[in-house]
Structure 1
């Protein structure tokens, strides 16, 4: 039961600490699943941990979180080799693809080696909801800024480009994110850029930003763009999701 149109949920959140397990899926993950339109069976999620090196403990935590939430999670590993002999088929058979945070530069390099871009696009166009956090948000856009190369934020502009914007994550929790995004938009390195505070997600139908949603109170989303010689930031008030 695919979504009725290409859908992306790009976030700076999605998890919370669990009471009996290491982490649980928070409202942003559940919202991505809801947007897939699945009913009458357990939702199928493919978890992609490339940006963090396909760590076994992270896969374990995510599978546990899925069991707790009633979501069937399959982990797609690319280290030391792809864990599926039909990666495009695995993605197409998912309701949601959730991409983990970490190094977006390394993620994009490994995805390029394995030619994941066309498979992700095909899944998106077929109605599989593409989603993720941090690096797993930036990857769907033209690019953004990243600490993949060291503590000082640098631009990355070779993301998949399914969405024709830049993307800024952790906009309220890392002091250098806002000024770096403003500089990169101002000098033309990034196009119009959509940003999210921690706990906020951006929902796209096709390439249109349709709303911002939040799993915590008091957070915002932002559109940063050039207007003549100035850089203008416009705040979008998110719709508060009900926490699971």
Structure 2
């Protein structure tokens, strides 16, 4: 069931430790499903673990989380080859596509080899909610900050660009993220950049940022803009999501 317009939920969260399972889906994943507008049946969610090399153990954990949440979940693997015959056809009938974290640089390279950059644009335009955490957030933007290349954070500037901004993830939990975002915006490497503390997500309808939401108390979202040769940061107060 597609959303009524192209929708992205870009996050620095979505999971919590489970009682009987390793993970459970937290408020942000449930909100992605809510944004899809699905009613009357189990939500269809496809997860991509490309950024971490399609780890099968993680995929199994997410199936358990989906069972608890009442979702029909499919893992789309690209290693060693795509596990679905018709990837685009499958994605077009999903309610939510969720992309996990890891190396955004590797994710983008692998997706482009399989022409998923063009596929995801068509899926987005068809109204399937695109979402994800960390690398699975940055990928939808023009770029952001990443440790894809080693322990020292660097800029990545070849994101899919569905959203015409930069993206800063883990803004409160990794101390090097904020100053690097400020430096990259100030020198023009990144455009206006939208950032999330852990547990926070940003909702876009089309390319317009319409709301910040959070599954954790005391967290924030931020817009960093260029002001001459410096960066200016504005805090956005997110709406608290219910705990599933």
TM-score (norm 2): 0.99
Distance 1:198 1:231 in 2: 22
1:229: how far off?
2.6
1:41: how far off?
0.4
Q: Which runs of 5+ in 2 are unaligned?
A: none
The residue correspondences of 1:51-200 to structure 2 (distance < 5 A) are 51-200=51-200
Distance 2:148 2:24 in 1: 26
Q: Deviations over 1:57-112 (max 9, x none)?
A: 01001111111100000000000000111111111111000000000000001001
Q: Aligned pairs, how many?
A: 244
Partners of 2:45 and 2:72 within 8 A in 1:
yes
Q: What is the aligned-residue RMSD (CA, Å)?
A: 0.5
Give 2:211's aligned residue: 211
Distance 2:173 2:58 in 1: 23
TM-score (norm 1): 0.99
Distance 2:133 2:21 in 1: 20
Distance 1:67 1:19 in 2: 13
1:140: how far off?
0.2
Distance 2:229 2:21 in 1: 51
Where has structure 1 moved over 4 Å in runs of 4 or more?
none
1:242: how far off?
0.4
Distance 2:84 2:103 in 1: 22
Q: Which runs of 5+ in 1 are unaligned?
A: none
Give 2:40's aligned residue: 40
